[in-house]
Amino acid sequence: MEDARRFCKERHSDLVTFSSQDENVFLWKQIYSGHMNFWIGLTVDLDRSVQWIDGSPMTFQWWEDHQPDFKNFDENCVVMVPYNGFWHDYNCGFEFKSICKRSGLPPANATVAPTLPPKGGCEDTWKKINFKCYKIVNNQNLTWDAARQQCRDLGGNLASISSRHTQGSFHPKIFRFS
């Protein structure tokens, strides 16, 4: 979801927030024919409370049945599903399309200071696989919560492996480090 939000921000917008069912239905009709989920600007906290990323009040909710289910205590981000327009929580590491919303146009004569292009790649002790950086930490056994905290302390999170290709990239590495 971070990449989706950055994409929106680069276009002077942010991930969409909804204040009414009408707005939700309108945007759902724009994506209805697709088969891919779309990130929206809603997050789910560890206590299962929800909030819009722009801080706007939560006046409207449109959850799919049995959602948010917060599987594995790791589904903190929310998508709109195209077949019915309802919301579903997912791990933030998945890659989906996004719906951006602009509250107003940028000023007509605005100039933006030049920025240096971001440096790509991963830090030395991290491995890049499918455009993401991974680090295998195997020097101690930890609970899930402690492992997640250790990953956060290192600037990441526990890995969410969403494809066979990525999983296949890890398989030999896991056994080599065990």
Q: Residue 67 belongs to a domain with what CATH number?
A: 3.10.100.10
Q: 């997912």: which residue's tokens? A: 90
Q: Specify the pLDDT at position 171.
A: 52
Confidence of residue 86 (pLDDT cuts 50, 70, 90): very high
Q: Examine the domain organization and report whether 76 and 143 are in the same domain.
A: no
40: in domain:
yes
Q: Specify the pLDDT at position 170.
A: 58
Q: Specify the pLDDT at position 87.
A: 95
Q: Specify the pLDDT at position 172.
A: 47
Q: Examine the domain organization and report whether 93 and 150 are in the same domain.
A: no
143: in domain:
yes
Q: Are 86 and 80 in contact (CB under 8 A)?
A: yes
94: in domain:
yes
Q: Are 52 and 61 in contact (CB under 8 A)?
A: no
109: in domain:
no
Q: Examine the domain organization and report whether 13 and 96 are in the same domain.
A: yes
Number of domains in the chain: 2
Single-letter amino acid code for the residue at 139: N
> What mean pLDDT is predicted for residues 81-99?
91
Q: Examine the domain organization and report whether 90 and 147 are in the same domain.
A: no
- Compute the 3-state secondary structure of the chain and give helix, strand, coil in percent, each to the nearest 5: 25, 15, 55
CA geometry: angle 98, 130, 163, nearest 5 deg: 75
Q: How many CB atoms are located within 10 Å of the residue 91 CB? A: 18
Residue 162's domain spans which residues? 127-177
Confidence of residue 161 (pLDDT cuts 50, 70, 90): low
Q: Is the pTM of this model over 0.85?
A: no
**Residue 100 bridge partners (DSSP):** 15
Q: Specify the pLDDT at position 102.
A: 79
Single-letter amino acid code for the residue at 22: D
Q: Examine the domain organization and report whether 78 and 160 are in the same domain.
A: no
> What mean pLDDT is predicted for residues 29-33?
84
Q: Examine the domain organization and report whether 46 and 90 are in the same domain.
A: yes
How much of the chain, in percent, has pLDDT values that exceed 70? Answer: 72
114: in domain:
no
> What mean pLDDT is predicted for residues 93-110?
73
